[in-house]
Structure 1
Amino acid sequence: MSTTTATPQQTTGSTGGPDLAALYKHLRVVDVVDALDGIGYFNLTLMSPELRPLWSGMRFWGPAVTIRAVPSNKPMWRLEGTQDIVEAHRIWFERYPATRLPDDLPPNHVIVMESGGGPEVGFWGSENAMGAVGGGAAGIITDGYCRDTAEIELQRTPVVARKRGRTIIPGRIEVVEVQGTIACGGVRVDPGDVVGCDEDGAVVVPAAVAQEVAVHARAILLADMHARRRHYDAQGKKPDSTVDADAVIAYYESL
């Protein structure tokens, strides 16, 4: 079997369309970027290198669902008593109801958030990010802040953020739109685009070319695995999963 030729697989998602997350499962960001280069998308969809995974070893891919937030320009008022302070989010959202993502999101989606360039605010934290994963998200990417980052790492909750923050939402930020076109990390993101990350950074693959890019990227990955395996053998290094091309080939043949 050729290790540098791949053909599209007709995997399907819950809506009957291609399961793009499955096509991207084993791909590295660099494979996808090289494939994008190959079809003329030079640097167009590379998210800013400031957007970094919050723990080592993170990798995810999935169709984008989008959130656009802006500074609230409304102050939080003084709260009376400890219990009100504990329930600050509930009190804030009762006065200013949140705009929320719909319930019928595709499986293994990636939440991508445009933060509006507002003040330091931990919109994402260990509790709500874990809840998003429980609701089917493969990962979260924000060009803003994330807080509780030690817990994020301990939980292995997949969050990519520009900065680590300390503060909470009330009086600082509000979501004004979901499932619209946004800009995140200097890149346009439309709902349904394939978005992913690993330790090298994050990238967006426009939906119109996502299947083609997956095919090219797979071939790039397999060629690299075979080349690196030769170095492993020559240097007497014990093979690991990063050079197990047979496992990757078997996975894609099973789709």
Structure 2
Amino acid sequence: MSKLKPETRDKLKQVSTATLATALFKRGLRNQMIQGVQPLRPMAESMVGEAFTLRYMPAREDLNRIDVFRDRAHPQRKAVEECPPGAVMVMDSRKDPRAASAGGILVTRLMKRGVAGVVTDGGFRDSAEIASLEMPVFHTRPSAPTNLTLHQAIDINVPIGCGDAPVFPGDVIVGDNDGVIVIPAELADELAQEATEMTAFEDFVTEQVRGGRSILGLYPPTDEQSLTDFAAWRKEKGR
């Protein structure tokens, strides 16, 4: 059962991974950004969901033949059918896109089951097809060969590393056009609120800078007048 509050999910959809990265850095967390991944198509709002993980290991040929997919308990197939609606499937593909983490059929199944998004630090086959789906998907690059040639699906919903970031089941995953960041589950509520406040201030600063104002004393707001102006802006904008 999801522990992510609907109001927290809604707030996180409206903030950037850049803002969240700064908020995490303030708490000493420096390595929460999944490195090397990008969305298959531009995004209008952030992807948000709790992590459900799939771990690959280097394939051993005698255990990873094409007929393993006949087994309904195969970890990749099982993960696709068990990833909860609203969650984000995160795959540890060892940062190796030489073979696909999955393809269009499996990702389509995840979309139809109501999954919030899919992330791999490897690649997807059928990338053009996946890019057309109504669900955010992140990878490093397209990759045609089946995952069986290099990757052996070994476990689901366990702690993994994805693009050098630690991902624990239930962590909150946020993705936008800049990439994907991992929020420890216990910090999600406070970071969502803090990032919402930071976003309001940054929108104010952007408006001021576009109007010709210097960043000195404004960003950060070391001049008292900047804070006074921000308070007036918030009242005017209803934020």
Scaled to the shorter chain, the TM-score interval is 0.7 to 0.9
Q: Percent identity?
A: 24
CA distance in 1, matches of 2:81, 2:208: 48
Coordinate RMSD, CA, aligned: 3.0
Q: What's the TM-score, normalizing by structure 2?
A: 0.76
Secondary structure in 2 matching 1:129: helix
Structure 1 residue 106, shift from structure 2 partner: 4.4
Q: What's the TM-score, normalizing by structure 1?
A: 0.72
- Deviation digits for residues 76-121 of structure 1, max 9, x if unmatched? 77xxxxxxxxxx6xx4412695122386654421111111456722
CA distance in 2, matches of 1:139, 1:249: 31
The equivalences for 1:92-131 within 5 A come to 92-94=68-70, 97-99=73-75, 100-101=78-79, 105-116=83-94, 120-131=98-109
Secondary structure in 2 matching 1:167: coil
Consecutive unaligned residues in structure 1, runs of 5 or more: 1-13, 78-87, 235-244, 251-255
**How many corresponding residue pairs?**
213
2:173 alignment counterpart? 195
CA distance in 2, matches of 1:105, 1:129: 11
2:21 pairs with one of 21, 27, 33: 33
Structure 1 residue 60, shift from structure 2 partner: 0.5
Consecutive unaligned residues in structure 2, runs of 5 or more: 213-233
Q: Are 1:54 and 2:30 matched, yes or no?
A: no
The equivalences for 1:58-207 within 5 A come to 59-74=46-61, 91-94=67-70, 97-99=73-75, 100-101=78-79, 105-116=83-94, 120-207=98-185
Residue type at the aligned position of 1:62 = G
CA distance in 2, matches of 1:165, 1:173: 13
**In 2 relative to 1, CA 40–140 (structure 1 residues): closer, same or farther, beyond 3 Å?**
same
**In 2 relative to 1, CA 101–186 (structure 1 residues): closer, same or farther, beyond 3 Å?**
same
**In 2 relative to 1, CA 233–156 (structure 1 residues): closer, same or farther, beyond 3 Å?**
farther
Deviates more, 1:24-33 or 1:92-101: 92-101
2:203 alignment counterpart? 225
Residue type at the aligned position of 1:185 = G
**In 2 relative to 1, CA 21–103 (structure 1 residues): closer, same or farther, beyond 3 Å?**
farther
**In 2 relative to 1, CA 165–15 (structure 1 residues): closer, same or farther, beyond 3 Å?**
closer
Normalized per residue, the structure richer in helix is 2
Secondary structure in 2 matching 1:55: coil
**In 2 relative to 1, CA 102–119 (structure 1 residues): closer, same or farther, beyond 3 Å?**
closer
